[in-house]
Amino acid sequence: MRHIPTEMPADLFGKRATDRAFRVVDAVATARIRWTARMNRRELDPRVDDRRIPVVVTERRVEAYDQDVVSLRLEAPDGRELPPWHPGAHLDIELPSGRLRQYSLCGDPADTRAYRIAVRRIPNGKGGSIEVHDALPVGTPVVLRGPRNAFPFAVPGHGSPSARLHFVAGGIGITPILPMLRLADRLGVDWSMVYTGRSRDTIPFLDEVESFGGRVTVRTDDAHGLPDAAALLPGVAAGTAVYCCGPVPMTAVITEAIREMRGVELHSERFSPPPIVDGAPFEIEFARSGEVVAVPADKSALDAILERRPDRPYSCRQGFCRTCKVRVLAGAPDHRETVLTAEEHAAGEMLVCVSRSAGQRLVLDL
């Protein structure tokens, strides 16, 4: 019998980036993002990314009893069908303030006339979640871009060599997982799930998840304590594909365990920027003002830019949505993404959320 000793850290969001588990999970996640970027090159084409879809908020619902999560139903003003999507996909939403934010689609792909997203309020965040909660009542027009998919779902017998599926979701990480559950259930695939959160009052879509019956195990910290890997991966053995979304420490625990399991696939999505590996300090010069800012070895170029230009657009912070693209006028960029084409690199385009400088200074068209 396989022994899985790994335990969840006591602080889900306070684990330091130097932890070995973090390095492992971020390496895996980064590789996964690069692979999906290649596989979804057509979806990541700029002509598709820039497609703007006007919609209206037609319904708002509180999805967690503590009211920290709301879902929005989005429909075309004239009721027409919206572009199709597949489980794991997300949308870019242009908020009224001009912010661009990404949210996973958590509705049903079969509903071709509406999208559904869910957003957890982050009190100390950059304002996107607060704006969704406070400034998007029913009737509000917004503009979407997408859908695009960086977390593709392969069903056993329909593109995956695995025989069964196991899902793990933590809190708001349920959003990309919900459409996967529905599809797996419709196709009669053998699957199971563990859903975790602080308490039943804090986890969204609980009624929908529990409607699948005994396939789902709900574990809450207040009732069961912090789960270890064995609790998150019950019955997982060779021939299983695991789909996981939630806090990075939870994904780290799962990754560490699955590294020791032969024949088990891991597919995961993270909601946080990757750590900076082999970073070196450099400078950014704003070409239009001549202002120079320092970029420390452990910060991204985007972080340094936002300190002086907090209105600069950004979204995924992981190098695949293209929102933070900037033109380099002088200097040698160190490209650390797989989304921009060779022609765009040659034209001086750079994604400042992950890419850095190969020299002492970059002059950017800012």
Q: Which of 237, 269, 301 is the last residue of a domain?
A: 269
Do residues 287 and 264 both lie within one domain?
no
Measured CA to CA in angstroms, residue 101 lies from 72, 206, 300 at distances of: 14, 25, 19
Residue 185, in any domain of the structure: yes
Q: What's the mean per-residue pLDDT of the chain?
A: 84
Q: Which of 148, 175, 198 is the last residue of a domain?
A: 148
Q: Which residue has the tokens 């992981």?
A: 318
Do residues 322 and 353 both lie within one domain?
yes
Do residues 76 and 143 both lie within one domain?
yes
Please tell me which residue, 147 or 8, carries the higher pLDDT value.
147
Residue 197, in any domain of the structure: yes
DSSP state letter for 29: H
For position 42, what pLDDT does the model report?
38
Do residues 94 and 183 both lie within one domain?
no
* 351 touches 339 (CB < 8 A): yes
Please tell me which residue, 101 or 41, carries the higher pLDDT value.
101
C-alpha to C-alpha distance for 41 and 85, rounded to whole angstroms: 15
C-alpha to C-alpha distance for 148 and 178, rounded to whole angstroms: 17
What domain count does the chain have?
3
Residue 255, in any domain of the structure: yes
Starting at the edge strand found earlier in the chain, the sheet holding 349-351 runs 292-295, 282-286, 361-364, 325-330, 349-351
Measured CA to CA in angstroms, residue 58 lies from 17, 48, 84, 86, 338 at distances of: 41, 25, 19, 22, 36
User: Which amino acid makes up residue 45?
Assistant: D
C-alpha to C-alpha distance for 283 and 293, rounded to whole angstroms: 6
Residue 155, in any domain of the structure: no
* 170 touches 140 (CB < 8 A): no
C-alpha to C-alpha distance for 71 and 175, rounded to whole angstroms: 10
Would you place residue 2 in the very low, low, confident or very high pLDDT band (cuts 50, 70, 90)?
very low
Q: What pLDDT digit, counting tens, does each position of 118-164 carry?
A: 999 987 766 688 899 999 999 999 999 889 888 899 988 887 889 99
Whichever domain contains 329, its CATH number is 3.10.20.30
Do residues 224 and 320 both lie within one domain?
no
Task: Give 257-323 as a DSSP string.
Answer: HHTTSTT-EEEEE-SSPPPP-S---EEEEETTT--EEEE-TTS-HHHHHHHH-TT-----SSSSS-T
Whichever domain contains 231, its CATH number is 3.40.50.80
Residue 15 above 60 pLDDT? Answer: no
The three-point CA angle 167-253-121 to 5° equals 70
Would you place residue 9 in the very low, low, confident or very high pLDDT band (cuts 50, 70, 90)?
very low
Q: Which of 243, 269, 295 is the last residue of a domain?
A: 269
* 93 touches 54 (CB < 8 A): no
Do residues 245 and 298 both lie within one domain?
no
**In which domain, by residue range, is 171 found?**
164-269
Paired sense of beta strands 164-170 and 191-197, if any: parallel
Q: Residue 273: which residues within 8 A CB-CB, separation 6 or more?
A: 300, 317, 318, 353, 354
For position 318, what pLDDT does the model report?
78
